[in-house]
Chains A and B, each alone.
Chain A
Amino acid sequence: MTSTPVQLQEVVKQFSGRTVLESIDLNVHGGELLALLGPSGCGKTTALRIIAGFERADAGRVLIGGRDVSRVPASRRGVGIVFQAYSLFPHLSAEQNVAYGLAVRGLPRRERRKRAGELLELVGLAEHGAKFPHQLSGGQQQRVALARAFAVEPSVLLLDEPLSALDAFVRQQLREEIRRVQREVGTTTVLVTHDQEEALSMADRVAVMHQGRFAQIGTPSEIYRTPASSFVASFVGVVNRVPATINSNGRVGVLGAELTTSSAHRGEATALLRPEDLQIQPDPEGRALVTGTTLRGAITSIEVTWQDTPVRVDVPTGTATRFSAGDRVRITPAVDNVLVEKEAAA
């Protein structure tokens, strides 16, 4: 079992004068799976490529297992990587792909074949070793890529949006598969993704990136339940932006209720409320009006307007039949501490 920590210390990166990473610090604990989550252009892939050695930081250090590898070439960092694009060598069979890194290390042919077979079995492709990449599905190709990366027993595994090219069903399957294999092998893993569901369901910790910086680093639950900023709240999950007023005692009035907030701001503001943190009741005297419903599987979203502000409330689909467009309802926040933005909602 490998449990090598990875650290980025004050790493800066610029491209053509544009700062992509603004002196970031990151500690990835040994054996954990950390997800770098953020929108396109936030710097998450650049951070991953700096760890891999494909890019060199303009300033700062990269430490793998406590060793400064900032000047070590990619081929000697002991880092495995699974790419977004199918990166299998097209002229080699699945087994040969997995064995490639072992051949580089000079392992005898028999050992290479044995180890490649074991790894293909680990990812559920023991029967497909003789097939070429063009004979495998997208999901199978990424499984082989995962086995190939694990073959060289890397101290760190980097996953660069490995599921983004796959369809939803295969993506879900492979998410669980990658997590299972990563836990089994115990390799420290950094996953880059823009898919919040992927990050929250796979990672031990999530680092949300925004404009070259970390907006928040925490467990998936911390990121979702107690977002550090309105950006994190909006990017991870869905939020309603509702007009609010913070009085001199620090209490925030929102949707007719009074709640606490940790914000130091006073006066007009915008409260950020998740759809599942709102309770909805049929009430002919209610101040909110149902404008529509959207079935999302296990939950149904009830769209309402509250004093001209659109608000979404998520309820279990079984209870959603009580609401239909045109109904008057009462909505109540069901949270203790509410996140607010200084700017008032438009």
Chain B
Amino acid sequence: MSRFLRTAVLVLAALLFAVPLVSSGVFGFSLPTTGWTLDPLLGAVQNSQFRDQLLASLTLALLTTLAALALLIPTLLHLHLRLPQALPVAEALSVLPMVVPAVALVNGANLTFRATVPGFLTSMYSLVPFYVVLTLPLVYRSLDAGFRAIDLRTLVQASTSLGAGPIRTLLRVVLPNLRAAMLTASLLSVTLVLGEYALATLLLHNTYPVFLAQTGQDSPHAAAALAVLTLLGTWLLLSAFSLAGRRPRTGATT
């Protein structure tokens, strides 16, 4: 491929990505009558529901991420150490949430839980298990890649031969070497939950994406401004996670 063609493809891709974003920014931070302005944005953030629903989504993102890591790290550890032959099956199972539409999941949950545990779906936290299922394919893959990148068996056996029990080995040897994979998994989980709309609205919970959708109906300028800021926030989060995942380059003492 010639240099010109490579540059052209790159520029085209950049435009494809940047034009809608810039357009949203222009639309969100300007009004036909007054020009550049923060009024629609300020109006939205001064709404008391903004803070509550953003906090709800952040809490859900945190809980979902912790639950997904707590569920998948021991599972993958066990599979890699004791049942490596079951890994292909587990991998296939992990993509199932991608083929089940959110509507089908909600209908199934409604039929099951409203009949058996009526109070369950009324709590906002009832979204956490659904979000764990939703994020499963991405979190599974990120962690699995992390496990495959290290010589897990040798590291665990080395730690064991030095007298460490399973908990110490997990905390002091396995998790530190999975840091990058855990950060990637967390980032994917957090961004997915912060943008999840279908499940929340179908189960009648007020989260940040629901707030964005509702705001869009009354004030499309405010919704566009918030969407751009949300995207920038996600980028910042991505950069922070990426920096945190870097391996130290210099020596440390005991």
Contact = CB atoms under 8 A, between A and B. Distances in A.
B78 interface: no
Interface stretch (A29-37, A93-101, A309-317): A93-101
A321 interface: no
Give the contact-size bracket for chain B: 20 to 34
Interface string B162-188: 111100100011001101000000000
Contact of B161 (A52, A90, A96): A52
Contact of A74 (B150, B157, B172, B250): B157
Interface in B190-227: none
Given A83-B157, A91-B176, A75 B254 contact: no
Contacts of B165: 75
B169 to A, nearest CB: 9
Nearest to B178: A91
Contacts of B150: 90
B107 interface: no
Interface string B140-160: 000000000011001101111
Given A99-B254, A104-B168, A113-B253, A90 B157 contact: no
Contacts of A151: 162
A112 interface: yes
Contact of B251 (A88, A93, A100, A113): A93
B161 A75 contact: yes
Contact of B254 (A54, A73, A85, A95): A95
Given A75-B161, A148-B162, A152-B163, A112 B151 contact: no
Contact of B162 (A116, A132, A152): A152
B176 A74 contact: no
Contact of A79 (B159, B161, B252): B161
A322 interface: no
Contacts of A112: 254
Interface string A49-68: 00011100000000000000
Given A85-B151, A104-B168, A130-B253, A91 B247 contact: yes
Interface string A124-151: 0000011110110000000001001101
A76 interface: yes
Contacts of A109: 254
B143 to A, nearest CB: 17
B177 A100 contact: no
B250 to A, nearest CB: 7
B163 A101 contact: yes
Interface string A69-85: 00001111101110101
Given A100-B162, A152-B162, A54 B157 contact: yes
Nearest to B179: A91
A176 B77 CA distance: 38
B254 A113 contact: yes
A87 interface: yes
A75 B164 contact: yes
Contacts of A99: 254
Contacts of A101: 162-164
A52 to B, nearest CB: 6
B219 to A, nearest CB: 49
Nearest to B161: A81
B35 interface: no
Contacts of B20: none
Contacts of B179: 91
Given A89-B158, A90-B150, A90-B177, A104 B163 contact: yes
A312 to B, nearest CB: 40
Given A96-B252, A113-B254, A129-B251, A87 B155 contact: yes
B154 A130 contact: no
B88 interface: no
Contacts of A87: 151, 154-155, 157-158
A149 B160 CA distance: 11
Given A76-B163, A96-B253, 8 more contacts: A74-B157, A75-B164, A87-B155, A90-B247, A93-B251, A101-B163, A109-B254, A132-B248
Interface of B: 150-151, 154-155, 157-165, 168, 172-173, 176-177, 179, 247-248, 250-254
11 contacts: A85-B154, A87-B154, A89-B158, A89-B177, A91-B177, A91-B247, A95-B253, A100-B159, A100-B172, A113-B254, A134-B247
**Ranked 6 nearest A-B pairs via Cβ:** A130-B251, A101-B162, A91-B176, A87-B158, A104-B163, A81-B161
